[in-house]
Amino acid sequence: MPRRQVWEDARLVGRSNSGILELKQNDGSWNKVCADEYWTPQVAEVVCRHVGFDRQTKIRSRTIQQKEHLYSKLKCKGSENSTQQCLTTTVRTCSTHKEALLMCARPRDISGGPASCSDRQFLCRRENKCIPARWRCDYVSDCDDGADEQNCTREYKHVFSGSIMFGAEKVKSFGSGTGQIWIDEISCRGHEKSILECRRNNFAAHDCTHAEDVGIVCKTSPNPKDCGVVKPHAKPPRIVGGHVSSPGRWPWIASIYLHIPPMSQEQFCAGSLVSDEWILTAAHCFDRTTDKRDVRIRLGEFNLHHRDPSEQTFNATELFIHPLYTKSSHDFDIALIKLNRPADTSTDYVKSICLPLASEPPFHNDFCYVAGWGNTGSSGASKTAILQEAKMPLLDSNLCRRIYSQLTSNMMCGGYVYGGIDTCQGDSGGPLSCRRSNRWELGGVVSWGNGCAQILKPGVYTKTMPFLSWITDTMLGKTSPSPSIPHRFDSSLSNFFGR
């Protein structure tokens, strides 16, 4: 099993180099840290070193917004390299009623000789800079040459089987085995990454016989066997600046409606069928409501104004909005909807799209496709009833960051820098479909942008790769649904959503 790295004991919740400080407890839970008399720049320096940065640049605090069960107090001298070397205590409340936030210095190029990186950092040789070691093999290229995402097979894969495990499919007996029995009396909660993190007897300490050997069949992929495969269409692939699609060309696209009696339904977002019971979409689609009773989903839809024979309509039984989603920045802009029944995927018009596998390289500088029923005019005023599609390139991350300073590692840009083709209002949550070999994979989710199809204002998409674990855990029932917040009425639904 991959051993637990020391930097996993502390994290910044927010952005890659800044956010709310949390410390991991022995039971696997996370405690926020009190911003009290011990919360000093010296302590912040230790935290930044612990998570792989050279230094801290800003120390802050904020009033506790939601009371947690427990908090941690952190006391460091300032010379420590790890929070594990500091004194930590657990308390039920913070005396100052404030929690700790900080910002660490982002990695920078170092001139005048080779960079000297700590054991919690990784050296990007081309630009001669140190990045946090936890950024290695995280599906995001932080080195200009992608060196931090190379030779990642061992880190990405589960050593038991040589492939990624997505949960147990069933328990099965394979008969009596032979040899040493290593583990007995094991108890897991379900969130552990390794059985070595579960409570158990010491190795080889047991009172079993091989007649009690346990066997399981594991899922090696969250994807259905026939995902991402579509019936060939004679019409070539031809949204703003896009072209009319054809029925069944994108059989995983879902239209999502807001339904509030006695009003009629109005389509406000799109999504992607990733299994027969799950739709992946954008979290910001639910900024105004997380009440599942307001949501309707249609699959197999082509024309919003006519009932298509291939249509299947569903209610939502649960909504799962990523717990770290922030409305102001659209970071972690991803959500899952559980359908009230399995979709019929035996037709050519309703199929699931494949999720990318963690062992595959991330999509980079590829051409992908977007589809949706959003506005087709650059002013955002002309909404289409017919499914549109467009082919667009994924842009270099450095170029994208120069255009959008608020871009995070969970986002990527797609489109043309000279404008003309883009997603727009109403396309939110829809699929960025990318071809890999003979199947289509979900490279991203339509998230946000500045205008529609404007020069030097490409669309921004939430990457799916960084969220594979969250998606899988949610579909396996390991996460809790979002609390229900009733819809706040507005006469103009088109003003609800950014894309």
pLDDT tens-digit series, residues 429-452: 999 999 887 889 999 999 987 655
Most confident range, picked from 104-118, 119-133, 343-357, 466-480: 343-357
Q: Which of 9-23, 112-126, 171-185, 302-316 has the highest mean predicted lDDT (pLDDT)?
A: 302-316
Pairwise CA distance, residues 227 & 97, whole Å? 50
- Which DSSP category does 187 fall into? B
One of 36, 148, 333, 422 is an active-site residue; which one?
A: 333
As a whole number, mean pLDDT of residues 88-97 equals: 88
Query: Are 423 and 403 contacting, i.e. CB atoms less than 8 angstroms apart?
Result: no
DSSP code string of 234-293: SSPP--BT-EE--TTSSTTEEEEEE--TTSPPEEEEEEEEEETTEEEE-GGGGSS---GG
What letter would DSSP give residue 112?
A: S
Mapped onto helix, strand or coil, the DSSP state of residue 32 is strand
Query: What pLDDT band is residue 55 in, cutting at 50, 70 and 90?
Result: confident
Q: Is 441 helix (H, G, I), strand (E, B) or coil?
A: strand
CA proximity to 99, closest of 26, 27, 45, 23: 23
Q: How confident is the model at residue 115 (pLDDT cuts 50, 70, 90)?
A: low
CA distances from 386 to 257, 304, 306, 361, 422 (A): 15, 7, 10, 34, 16
**Among 69-83, 339-353, 380-394, 480-494, which is the least confidently predicted range?**
480-494
Q: DSSP state, 425?
A: T
Three-state secondary-structure class, residue 204: coil
Exposure string of 188-226, with b = 16+ CB inside 10 Å and e = fewer, is eeeeeeeeeeeebeeeeebeeeeeeeeeeeebeebbbee
Instruction: Name the pLDDT band for 171 (thresholds 50, 70, 90).
Output: low
- Give CA–CA dist 214/201, Å, rounded: 16
Is residue 201 over pLDDT 70? Answer: no
Which residues neighbour 59 within 8 Å (Cβ) at sequence distance 6 or greater? 39, 40, 41, 44, 100, 101, 102, 103
Position 74: which residue type? L
Q: Answer yes or no: 428 catalytic.
A: yes
Q: Note the pLDDT of residue 118.
A: 80
Identify the bridge partners of residue 91 per DSSP, sorted by sequence position. Answer: 71
Q: Is 379 a catalytic residue?
A: no
Q: Which CATH class is domain 226-499?
A: mainly beta
Ordered by start, the domain boundaries in the chain are 6-104, 121-156, 226-499
pLDDT of residue 415: 81
The pair of three-digit structure tokens given for residue 219, joined into one six-digit string: 């899922």
Given a cut of 60, whether residue 110 has pLDDT beyond it is: yes
Q: What is the pLDDT of residue 449?
A: 72
| Other beta carbons within 10 Å of 233 | 13
Q: What is the DSSP string of 70-105?
A: -EEEEE--S--SSGGGSEEEEESS-TTSEEEEEEEP
Q: What's the chain's length in residues?
A: 499
Residues 369-412 have pLDDT tens digits of 998 886 544 444 455 688 888 888 888 888 888 888 889 999 99
Which comes out higher in pLDDT, residue 415 or 203?
415
pLDDT above 70 for 311:
yes
In terms of average pLDDT, the best of 121-125, 278-282, 373-377 is: 278-282
Q: Domain 121-156 belongs to what architecture?
A: Irregular (4.10)
Catalytic residue, chosen from 36, 72, 148, 284, is 284
Q: What is the rounded CA–CA span in Å between residue 193 and residue 183?
A: 17
Dihedral sign computed on CA atoms, order 334, 22, 144, 164:
negative
H-run or E-run covering 398:
helix 397-403
Give the alpha-carbon dihedral of 241, 243, 248, 249, to 10 degrees: -70
**Do 121-156 and 226-499 come out as alike in CATH topology?**
no
Catalytic residue among 255, 397, 428, 433: 428
- What span, in angstroms and rounded, lies between the C-alpha atoms of 390 and 237? 7
Q: Under CATH, what is the fold of the domain 6-104?
A: Mac-2 Binding Protein (3.10.250)
The Cα 43–Cα 77 span in angstroms is 7
Question: Percent of the chain beyond pLDDT 70?
Answer: 72
Q: Name the band, by pLDDT with cuts 50, 70 and 90, for residue 237.
A: very low
pLDDT for position 419: 52
* Residue 202 in this model has a pLDDT that exceeds 90: no
- Looking at residue 153, what is its pLDDT? 41
Structure tokens at 354: 């494949």
- Name the token pair of 210: 């091989």
| The pLDDT value given to residue 366 | 74
pLDDT at residue 165, as a whole number: 47
pLDDT above 70 for 75: yes
| Closest among 374, 399, 373, 400 to 387, alpha carbons compared | 373
Residue pair 181/204 in contact by the 8 Å Cβ criterion: yes
Active site residue 284: yes
The DSSP-derived string for 367-384 is EEEEEESSB-STTS--B-
pTM of the model: 0.56
pLDDT on residue 217 = 64
